[in-house]
A and B are shown apart, each in its own frame.
Chain A
Amino acid sequence: MTDADATRQRSDLGAGHTHALYIHEHSRLHDVAPEVKIVAALGFVISVAITPRRAILAFGLYALVVLALALWSRVPVRFLALRLTAVLPFIAFAVVIPFVASGTQTEILGMQVSVEGLWGSWNIMVKALLGASVSILLTATTEIPEIIRGLGLLKVPATFTGIATFMIRYLELITDELSRVRVAMTSRGYDPRWLHQTRPIATSAGAMFVRSYERGERVHAAMLARGFDGEMPDFGKRRGTRWEWVGVVTMVGALSSIAVVALVST
C-alpha cells in the first residue's frame, strides 16, 4: 500500500467519506424523523449504562433488540461488526483489567485474575459494544445533516447546530486538502517517523488554518449576498409524527423498565 493510499485510508477512517457511514436502504427505520430516532438512541444508551453489570439477562435482551433493529433497518450485520472495531482499543484495555485489578483472585487457564476485575472488564466491554451499536445504527439510518436538524428540534441552540452544519459541509474539503499536502510532501521524499520531523506538517497545518478562516469569511460574504440576516431560514422539513413518538416512547419505556428491574433486583 503506497503512502498516498495510507494517507487516504486514514482520512477515510474518520470523516473522509462520511457517506460511507450511511447505508442507503429504504426501511421504515430510515424514514423515521431524526429527532425521534435520537431520543430512542439516547433512551437505549442510558438504559444500558445504568444496568448493573451482573444483570446478564438484561444485556442479552438489549443485544436482541439491537439485532432486531439491525434487521428491520436492513443494515448488514457485517457492516455493523466492521464499524464496531472502533471500540477495539477500549476492549483491549478492558481485557487487561482482570490482570492488573485487585481483589479476590481466581484462576483461569492457569492465570491469576481478579474476580472484580473480570466483572469490571465485562461491564466495560458489554456497555461499550451495545452503546456503539446503537450509535452506528443511528448513523446508518439517518443522514448527518438530518441528525443535526434533529438535534436542533430537540432544543439544541441554533448557534451550535449552525456551527456543526458548516463543519460537516467543509470537513471533507479540509481533510482532502490536508491529505493532499501530505501526499505532496511524501512524494518529495518526506517521511516523518518521529515527532521532531513533523515541523513542515505543523506549519502547513497553520497555513491551512489561515486558508480555512479566509474561506469562512468568503462563505459569510456569500451568505450575506443571498440575503442572510443572521437567522438560518426554515426549509419546512418533515417532523416526527404522533405514532413515531408513541413507538419510541414505548420502546424506551420497555428498555428502561428492564434496567430498573435489573437495578432493583441486584
Chain B
Amino acid sequence: MNGEVRVSGVEFAYPDGRTALRGLDLSIADGERVALLGPNGAGKTTFALHLNGILRARSGEIWVGGLKLTEPNLAEIRRRVGLVFQDSNDQLFMPSVREDVAFGPANLGLVGEDLDGRVVAALKAVDGLEFVDRPPHHLSGGEKRRAALATVLAMEPAVLVFDEPSAGLDPAGRRQLIDLLRRLSMTQVLITHDMALALDLCPRAVIVSDGKVVASGETGAILSDAALLARYRLEFPHAPSQGTHLHPHPN
C-alpha cells in the first residue's frame, strides 16, 4: 500500500472567519518519517485534520497513495490515513479497549475471526494485549496513548499522522513509544514540540507557521539553526555542557 502524500495549495478558514491554512504545500515519500514543527496556532493540527478529510479545504489538492481526496473517496482515504489525536480520550470512546480497537475494522466490514485477528495484531504491535478488556478510563496516560495508536493501526493504514506523540508521557513511556514508532514501516507524519523525538525518529523536518510551510530539510540541519528556530518560537534543548559535576549528597 502506497503511503505517498502530496499536498498542494491547501487553503482553509474556520466558520468564524479565522484563516488557518494559507496555501500549504508538502510532499512526503512512501515510508518517509517527517516531523512537523511549528509554533502553537500555526495550523499543524488543522492540517492533520485535512489529511483524512475531516476538514475540507476550500482550495488546493490532497493526494494519498495516488488517490485524490474527494467526497466519494473519503471512506478509502480514511482507511489509508490513520490519525492519532492529541487527547487519547477523544479516540477511546467505547466501553472497552477491545471494542475501540475493533471499531475501525468492524466499520470496514470485518467480522468474526478476521476481526479478532486484527484486534490482536494491532494490540500486539503496541505491546497492549494486557489491557485489551479494560475500560479506557482505567488506563494510564501512556497506555491510553498506545491503545489509541492500536485503534488506528487496526485499520492497516498506509500513512500514520500522530499529533503530539510524546506529550504527557513519562520518560519510560516516551522511550517505549519512540521504539514502537521506529518499528512501524508506514509513512509517518509526527506533529511535535519534542525536538529530541524529532531528531531521534525523523530524517526530515518541516516547519509550519501561519498556515504555510516555511522550512523543510534534514532534521539535524534544521534543529541546529538556532536563528531559524527562534524565528518560529522554537528551540532545541541543550545537553548539559562539559564541566558540570554531580556532587553526591553529604549524607
Report if B120 contacts A (CB, 8 A): no
Nearest Cβ on chain A to B50's Cβ, whole angstroms: 12
| Cβ contacts A156-180/B at 8 Å (1 or 0 each) | 0000000001101110110000000
Q: Which residues of A contact B (CB under 8 A)?
A: 19, 143-145, 165-166, 168-170, 172-173, 215, 218-219, 221-229, 233-236
Chain B residues whose C-beta falls within 8 Å of the C-beta of A236 in the assembled complex = 111-112, 115
Q: Across the interface, do B49 and A169 meet the contact criterion of CB distance under 8 Å?
A: no
Q: Which residues of B contact A (CB under 8 A)?
A: 49, 52, 54, 75, 78-79, 82-83, 85, 87, 89-91, 93-96, 99, 102-104, 106-108, 111-112, 115, 135-138, 151-152, 155
Residue ID in chain B nearest A233 by CB atoms: B106
Chain A residues whose C-beta falls within 8 Å of the C-beta of B111 in the assembled complex = 236
With A172-B137, A218-B85 known as contacts, the answer to whether A226 contacts B95 (CB < 8 A) is: no
Q: Total A-B pairs in contact (CB under 8 Å)?
A: 76
Taken together as a complex, chains A and B put the C-alpha atoms of A226 and B109 apart, in Å, by 12
Chain A residues whose C-beta falls within 8 Å of the C-beta of B90 in the assembled complex = 215, 218-219, 221-222
Chain B: interface secondary structure?
helix
Q: Across the interface, do B102 and A226 meet the contact criterion of CB distance under 8 Å?
A: no
List of 3 A-B pairs having minimum Cβ-Cβ separation, nearest first: A145-B95, A227-B107, A233-B106
B94 CB contact (under 8 Å) in A169, A218, A224: A169
Taken together as a complex, chains A and B put the C-alpha atoms of A215 and B85 apart, in Å, by 12
Nearest Cβ on chain A to B30's Cβ, whole angstroms: 21
With A145-B95, A236-B112 known as contacts, the answer to whether A227 contacts B102 (CB < 8 A) is: no
Q: Across the interface, do A225 and B95 meet the contact criterion of CB distance under 8 Å?
A: no
Q: Across the interface, do B85 and A222 meet the contact criterion of CB distance under 8 Å?
A: yes
Nearest Cβ on chain A to B171's Cβ, whole angstroms: 25
Q: Across the interface, do B102 and A235 meet the contact criterion of CB distance under 8 Å?
A: yes
Chain A residues whose C-beta falls within 8 Å of the C-beta of B115 in the assembled complex = 235-236
Q: Across the interface, do B49 and A226 meet the contact criterion of CB distance under 8 Å?
A: no
